[in-house]
Structure 1
Amino acid sequence: MVGFLVLLNQLICKFKTSLHDILVEVFPAIASRIFNIIPQDAFPSEARSRTEEARELQELQKTMYTFLHVIATHDLSSVFLSPKSRVYLDLMMQLLLHTACNHKDILVRKACVQIFIKLIKDWCARPLGEEHVPGFQNFIIEVFAMNCCLYSVLDKSFEFHDANTLVLFGEIVQAQKVMYEKFGDDFLIHFVSKGFSSAQSPQDMAEQYCQKLQGSDVKALRSFYQSFIENLRQQQNGSLVFR
């Protein structure tokens, strides 16, 4: 299966949207076979003692996320919405979310965040627009934003001194910009009133965040948000567990 996915990735990169109809046919079979056997952490307890099996599962998992990333970033996200593929959409969202928040490989986490960013751009109209995928906007605002963009970076395991982690953080900040562009105050009000409140954010810092998010300087937003998260960590002194 790994070899087949690698071949598909190469074909998509070369032929792009020309492969749409083929992917519509093969994706449901791939999803039905892989999504239910891939553990979220790639190391199920029964495989821990069998190193080769664990390694193969890990390789399959990483290749699968690369496959989903290649589809999303080559304007083929409609493949996920075909009638036969929609039944796997919820499971795919849960796998992507868990991986974006928790995977030990930071580059895999980054790829999953990038997938979410592309899906938001593809599937969500501007504020007050018709919802293209019912329930997706609520999932992004209420689940993805809270867990990936706030709670996962508040966790002390999110190491700002690591270069790859900083790249991941940049994608997480970009996701917030995209959510604000697409959802407007629906995102901002929920993120601040629910998320920041649960993190016991000072009111003045929440207001500064809103100003930075609504501005056009992404670097300034990124710098502020990192300081904001680090300040919240110090304030909580590691006493709160968010997930």
Structure 2
Amino acid sequence: MTVDGKPRVQYQMPKTCREVHDGTFTSLVAQGLKGYGEPTSMKDAVLLGTSSITQNFKPIKNVCAHLNAFHAYADDLGRSIETNHFCSQINSDVRQCLLYDSPDANARLIGIEYMITPQLYETLPPDERRLWHSHVYEVKSGMLVMPNRVIPQTPWDMAENKEMGEIVKLYGKTYHLWQTDRGDKLPLGEPQLVTNYTNDGQPDFKKVEDRDERFGTDYRAKRDARQGIPTPDIHKDADSYWKG
């Protein structure tokens, strides 16, 4: 099919998680890791490539969303770190995300995040609730994005806004294990609790603009497009680290 004499790109909106892992391990031969250690050898790459064919990676293949945003360290709110979330849905109340320092094949796993519904959050004891953060500002500011360079922008924006309408209601608990922002070559020390931003003046939007340039996103346009997303009430125990 053509449009204005040009071939029309055929596409389908994703309905299920795509199995994108076959063949990715062999690309590590020349890349190696960005931390300590030698580059991946041909022997190791062949072993990994064979494993990707003969073994089952169902938990990883259930990953169906890539989110990008910035976190602040709970004990040092002036430190921020860009984070790529690769998330799967466990059930209707719980999501889990693997956190990486980039979307590349040799990205470093730097943390984990769990997201739960308000109904489940209400069941937690007060001390536990204070470890969790909201996603309202992250969504409404346009900071949280789902990078996309495949599907045309208009239908993707519609799908993304629908997803944001769900995420805005969720509470998250996040630990970073590898402090790559300070140059650590390995995961050192204890896991670090991190939190989301909650108001203007907290995040450095110059970093967000740099992210937008790399991913082809625009937080300002997304902020405007999300004005119609209902803003839920935030539980008084959430976002405690911003409350002193």
**TM-score after normalising by structure 2:** 0.31
**TM-score after normalising by structure 1:** 0.31
- Structure number with the bigger relative contact order (C-alpha 8 A, sep ≥ 6) is 2
**Structure with the larger strand share:** 2
